[in-house]
Amino acid sequence: MDINTDNPRLDLSNLSPKEMEWHFNPRVTVPDRDDYMDSRDTANRRTLANLASVRDLRYGANPKETLDIYPAAKTPAPVMVYIHGGYWRAGYKEDWAFVAEPLVANGATTAVLSYDLCPSVSLDEIVAETRRALIWLYRNVVDHGGDPDRIYISGSSAGAHLCAMMLGHDWTANGLPSDLIKGAVLVTGIYDVHPVLDISVNADIRLDAAAAQRNSPMFMPPRHPAQLLAGVGGNEAEGWKQQTRDYVAMCRANGIACDFLELPGEDHFSLGTVLADETSPLVQTMLVQMGLS
């Protein structure tokens, strides 16, 4: 889908504190988010009860540096790594177990990460933890039926931000292939985190301007071409939608192909929930990237 440029760009300098919250704090924008949480809880219970898994594998020393792997029946399988959202201050891997169900059913070994949360750790440390998770998976996923040469990533909200940070990382510095990540589906992400400095969530995240700059993938193009899609909901706040448009435009300006998808009728929280639906364009894109559809 082409990027819609019809809407004028927001001038953030003219927004009131209340308007900044509306545009950049999805919990304010979607007051009925608890309905989505209930739906996810049901799907999570079903997945954890019915899907084979290897739980609580440790990829680092920090308390929440653990991941769960849901192996595909046929091995070696492509690996989809899912990174949860929660504005870097909420969420655990068990909250997102359901994303594995349609992926495993179609032949993808799926890894769902936990990571430590702000304010217990900084955003810098969360980014470092995510890197450690991918390094661990490259070195160890073969023991769980995954193919380390076919690693793909996906994430929602803050998880999409972390995916984009991983795309901008030089994996050769870790002794890994430059094309470690073969594809990514970024769902309703934040890519320039400077607006966080001016909203209430920064009481937990504790960013300053320097930390916002070095943790903004908007200024860190993917280092290696991969199959990329960035999606956003049609019902999301305009400031949040602009984040995805800008990231896609930045990638393209740097010679990196990146598909853009705006899903009509979806909001920030419904987009996460539809990852349980095999027929959704987001899940279908993941399967196509991995050669499973």
Q: Where are the domains of the chain?
A: 12-289
| The one-letter amino acid at 145 | G
Tens digits of residue pLDDT in 273-283: 899 999 999 99
Fold of the 12-289 domain: Rossmann fold (3.40.50)
Predicted confidence (pLDDT) per residue in 124-174, tens digit = 999 999 999 999 999 999 999 999 999 999 999 999 999 999 999 999 999
The span from the CA of 117 to the CA of 64, in Å, is 8
Phi, psi angle pair for 77, to nearest 5°: -110, 155
Question: For residue 284, is pLDDT > 80?
Answer: yes
Place 41 in a pLDDT band, splitting at 50, 70 and 90: confident
Helix, strand, coil shares of the chain, percent, nearest 5, are 45, 20, 35
Is the per-residue pLDDT at 26 higher than 70? yes
Question: 287 vs 151, 159, 239, CA distance in Å?
Answer: 12, 19, 30
Q: Which of 109, 106, 115 is nearest to 69 (CA)?
A: 109
Residue 180 confidence (pLDDT): 98
